[in-house]
């Protein structure tokens, strides 16, 4: 029997983080490109002390119980923790780690890239060229919408939303934000706090930066989309289910909004048969907003640090359920 703590890592992660885990633990690392199936996950966690998981793994009470009473820590290789049943972890006294802060800039950069891409029809233009449809310079070819000086509505004004606002200020955008979790909005934050409906009615670009919770599930539905301007663009780099995909399909198809750009979909991956993929005014990419080399390396390192701290019985440097320590 190994003297090192037994852990399961549900996918290979960038090297530095992975070697921190394998140096300190008796680690089994799931080697495939696809996540372990539910049955395999339930089997591999048996008897572990630590679990390092990804946002593609659903970690609920059943997984925690399958691991058994020795499970000391769950470390998510993501800032969002909607894949983990936090109350179930807290009830069992298990701290859950996540990776806030380090992916803020990469994600805000990417949200801005999607704003520009959707507004100026970059992906559509690229497809147009590759399809052999480019015959000449056209005065009305692929006309888009201006970003410079436009109004940006940010839903969820935490770290990433605020970092997006910084980028937008370079484009002299007017910034509105909606975030009911900010109890007393900091007067030094750029932009103007407004109600949900006002933001949707006034923004030329609506960018989503909320966590996925019961309250934000399908926050952008038929009603919300109907409030948006016909010239408006929707950007989602948060979590897919914040947008109702059927409502989005209707709004894009009927040109009730100009365009949408999604880094995240519901479900993930989006089915290649999804009617959304037939629409030219939708840009979609495979959940890569934080996917810069350095950011992913830092995420892996932070996930490893959280895991190792939990195994040592230390407080996690980044804990998503700090209330777990209140009862300790």
Residues catalogued as catalytic: 239, 268, 287
Phi, psi of 191 (to 5 degrees): 95, 175
- Rounded least distance, CB 57 to ligand GLV, Å: 13
On whether the CB atoms of residues 206 and 235 are closer than 8 A, the answer is yes
Name every residue whose Cβ is closer than 8 Å to that of residue 303 and which is 6 or more positions away in sequence.
13, 17, 52, 75, 76, 77, 97, 99
192 forms bridges with which residues in the sheet?
176
Give the range of 32-40, 73-81, 116-124, 149-157 binding ligand GLV by CB under 6 A: 73-81
Helices 104-119 and 122-130, interaxial angle, to 10°? Answer: 60
- Name the residue nearer to ligand GLV (CB basis): 103 or 115: 103
Candidate residues 67, 79, 94, 309; the one interacting with ligand GLV per rule CB under 6 A: 79
Binding to ligand GLV by residue 241, rule CB under 6 A? no
Residues 284-323 that bind ligand GLV (CB under 6 A): 290
- Rounded least distance, CB 143 to ligand GLV, Å: 33
For residue 203, give the nearest of 182, 164, 177 by alpha carbon: 177
For 289, other C-beta atoms within 10 Å of its C-beta total 22
Candidate residues 14, 36, 50, 80; the one interacting with ligand GLV per rule CB under 6 A: 80
Name every residue whose Cβ is closer than 8 Å to that of residue 12 and which is 6 or more positions away in sequence.
18, 29, 30, 31
d(CA 296, CA 244) in angstroms, rounded, equals 29
- Rounded least distance, CB 289 to ligand GLV, Å: 7
- Rounded least distance, CB 79 to ligand GLV, Å: 4
Question: The dihedral of CA 300, 304, 305, 310: what is its sign?
Answer: positive
- Name the residue nearer to ligand GLV (CB basis): 115 or 176: 115
- Rounded least distance, CB 294 to ligand GLV, Å: 15
For residue 55, give the nearest of 96, 112, 113 by alpha carbon: 96
205 to each of 8, 26, 168, 201, 304, how far by Cα in Å? 42, 48, 11, 10, 37
Give the range of 14-22, 78-86, 129-137, 183-191 binding ligand GLV by CB under 6 A: 78-86
Residues 100-159 that bind ligand GLV (CB under 6 A): 103
- Name the residue nearer to ligand GLV (CB basis): 162 or 290: 290
Residues 41-70 that bind ligand GLV (CB under 6 A): 55
Give the range of 12-20, 63-71, 75-83, 164-172 binding ligand GLV by CB under 6 A: 75-83
Binding site for ligand GLV (CB under 6 A): 55, 78-80, 103, 290
């Amino acid at each position: 029997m190994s003297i090192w703590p037994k852990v399961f890592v549900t996918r290979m992660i960038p090297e530095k983080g992975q070697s921190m885990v394998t140096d300190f633990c008796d680690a089994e690392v799931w080697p495939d490109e696809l996540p372990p199936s539910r049955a395999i996950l339930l089997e591999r966690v048996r008897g572990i002390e630590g679990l390092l998981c990804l946002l593609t793994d659903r970690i609920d009470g059943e997984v925690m119980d399958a691991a058994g009473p020795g499970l000391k820590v769950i470390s998510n290789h993501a800032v969002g923790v909607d894949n983990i049943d936090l109350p179930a972890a807290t009830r069992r006294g298990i701290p859950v780690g996540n990776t806030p802060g380090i992916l803020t800039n990469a994600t805000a950069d990417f949200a801005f890239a999607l704003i520009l891409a959707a507004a100026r029809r970059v992906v559509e233009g690229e497809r147009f060229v590759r399809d052999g449809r480019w015959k000449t310079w056209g005065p009305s070819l692929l006309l888009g919408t201006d970003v410079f000086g436009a109004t940006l509505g940010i839903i969820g004004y935490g770290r990433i939303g605020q970092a997006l606002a910084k980028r937008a200020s370079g484009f002299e955008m007017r910034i509105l934000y909606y975030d009911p979790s900010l109890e007393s909005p900091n007067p030094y934050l750029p932009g103007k706090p407004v109600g949900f409906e006002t933001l949707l009615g006034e923004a030329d670009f609506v960018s989503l930066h909320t966590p996925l919770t019961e309250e934000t599930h399908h926050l952008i539905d038929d009603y919300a989309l109907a409030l948006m301007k016909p010239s408006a663009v929707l950007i989602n780099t948060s979590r897919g289910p914040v947008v109702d995909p059927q409502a989005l399909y209707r709004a894009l198809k009927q040109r009730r909004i100009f365009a949408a750009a999604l880094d995240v979909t519901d479900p993930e991956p989006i089915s290649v048969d999804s009617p959304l993929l037939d629409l030219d005014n939708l840009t979609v990419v495979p959940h890569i907003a934080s996917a810069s080399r350095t950011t992913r390396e830092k995420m892996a390192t932070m996930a490893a640090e959280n895991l190792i701290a939990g195994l040592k019985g230390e407080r996690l440097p980044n804990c998503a359920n700090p209330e777990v320590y209140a009862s300790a």
